[in-house]
């Protein structure tokens, strides 16, 4: 492919880029997909080649044409300076933290954060002498009042993947402007198709690629993309830790990215229809930021161009037996962790157990709902029947 053709692809529409970007059939004997490179050792023909630091492929841990293609694809979508791949979403989060933080530093983290992120901060970062303070997800520009002379990073997850608060990223980055503080964003829910944190002032964007990027519940991966300010430090930390992704998982992630555009459109429309149907039913409270009823809907409309596959519902307070009555005999929804695949999932969760900065005081039981690609009428029937069993068991 000529440089002109590559430029045309980079400047094309998103779905065209997802289809053609990050691959070069002419370099792979004409095959459409870049093949899996299973390898550790790279053979050099001469001592001069061995000594040439500019040679791209020197050892399997430092990348292959397949990892480069996927990294380029994600970098362009994010508007980043570069991207690295990690074995899981949690490893991507930990890598981002350790890229920015050192002994004696402090990080501020939204109280609505993914529980494994909190666990890493409260255990590993604490053991390394790094202080964590949690803040109100709706703090906005008042984040400046929380910053100390030790603060070196702020971590947000917008929306929070259980309670779905939207953080005001432009207000946060404006309040921190001119300070030596990195802004890290977990963007797994919206993906760069619907939300672009870097143009809004963030420094590093993290994805659990296990979810939307891969999209088929058959592999695990994380990605970290950075701006020019943090890219070199990110690459150095990534290489020093020896983080690599298996060739087969990289292939599966690349395959998943080709259909990300059409999948996100379908996830969005189906999740919104189901969320609206539940809200109209009146038996549950629905937490979905794209609904007008959500308290952060204005922020959502300001910063996002679309919504993801995931939302939560809150059922009236009832014993755990009522939850079991609802979920144990569901016909279509599975019960399990993760999300982003083709199959619909429901997961009972308890935000009260982990919140510290802003106690979760909503009464009732929260269930997180991931909307997959089953027939919507089947999903409505299954969820409606489950809610009816819940209410009956609770005596309502």
Catalytic amino acids? 61, 114, 186, 211
Distance (Å, rounded) from C-alpha 182 to C-alpha 171? 14
Give CA separation, 145 vs 100, 201, 361, in Å.
21, 19, 25
Tokens of 21: 């970007």
Quote the CA–CA distance of 173 and 177 in Å, as a whole number. Answer: 6
Length of the chain: 396
Burial state string for 201-233 with b = 16 or more CB within 10 A and e = fewer than 16: bbbbbbbbbbbbbbbebebbbbbbbbbeebbee
Q: Which two tokens stand for residue 77?
A: 């979508």
CA distances from 222 to 159, 218, 278, 351 (A): 18, 14, 32, 24
**Whole-number Å distance between alpha carbons of 230 and 372:** 36
User: How many whole angstroms separate alpha carbon 349 and alpha carbon 114?
Assistant: 12
CB 211 within 8 A of CB 188: yes
| CA 244 vs CA 22, 101, 251, 333: distances in Å | 19, 21, 13, 33
**Residue reference for tokens 């979920």:** 327
**Helix crossing, 376-393 with 260-281: angle to 10°?**
40
Give dist(CA 157, CA 28) in Å, integer: 38
């Amino acid at each position: 492919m000529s440089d002109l053709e590559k430029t045309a692809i980079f400047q094309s529409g998103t779905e065209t880029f997802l289809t053609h970007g990050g691959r070069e059939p002419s370099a792979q004997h004409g095959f459409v997909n870049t093949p899996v490179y299973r390898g550790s050792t790279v053979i050099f023909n001469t001592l001069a080649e061995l000594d040439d630091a500019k040679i791209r492929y020197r050892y399997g841990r430092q990348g292959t044409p397949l990892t480069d293609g996927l990294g380029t694809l994600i970098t362009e979508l994010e508007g980043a300076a570069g991207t690295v791949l990690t074995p899981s979403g949690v490893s991507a989060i930990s890598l981002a933290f350790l890229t920015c933080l050192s002994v004696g530093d402090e990080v501020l983290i939204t109280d609505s954060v993914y529980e494994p992120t909190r666990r890493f901060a409260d255990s590993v970062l604490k053991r390394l002498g790094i202080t964590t303070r949690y803040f109100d997800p709706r703090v906005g520009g008042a984040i400046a009042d929380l910053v100390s002379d030790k603060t070196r990073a702020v971590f947000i997850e917008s929306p929070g993947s259980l309670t779905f608060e939207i953080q005001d990223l432009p207000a946060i980055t404006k309040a921190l402007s001119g300070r030596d503080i990195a802004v890290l964003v977990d963007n797994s829910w919206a993906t760069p198709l619907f939300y672009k944190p870097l143009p809004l002032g963030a420094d590093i964007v993290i994805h659990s690629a296990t979810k939307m990027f891969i999209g088929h519940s058959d592999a695990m991966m994380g990605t970290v993309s950075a701006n020019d300010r943090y890219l070199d430090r990110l690459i150095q930390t990534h290489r020093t830790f020896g983080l690599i992704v298996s060739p087969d998982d990289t292939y599966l992630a690349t395959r998943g990215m080709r259909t990300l555009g059409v999948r996100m459109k379908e996830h969005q429309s189906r999740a919104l229809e189901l969320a609206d149907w539940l809200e109209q039913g009146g038996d549950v409270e629905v937490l979905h930021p794209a609904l007008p009823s959500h308290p952060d809907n204005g922020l959502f409309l300001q910063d996002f161009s679309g919504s993801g596959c995931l939302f939560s519902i809150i059922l009236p307070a009832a014993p755990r037996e009522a939850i079991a009555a609802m979920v144990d005999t569901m016909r279509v929804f599975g019960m399990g962790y993760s999300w982003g695949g083709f199959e619909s999932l429901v997961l009972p969760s308890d935000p009260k157990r982990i919140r510290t900065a802003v106690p979760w005081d909503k009464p009732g039981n929260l269930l997180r709902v991931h909307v997959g690609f089953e027939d919507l009428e089947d999903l409505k029937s299954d969820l409606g029947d489950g809610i009816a069993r819940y209410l009956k068991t609770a005596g309502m």
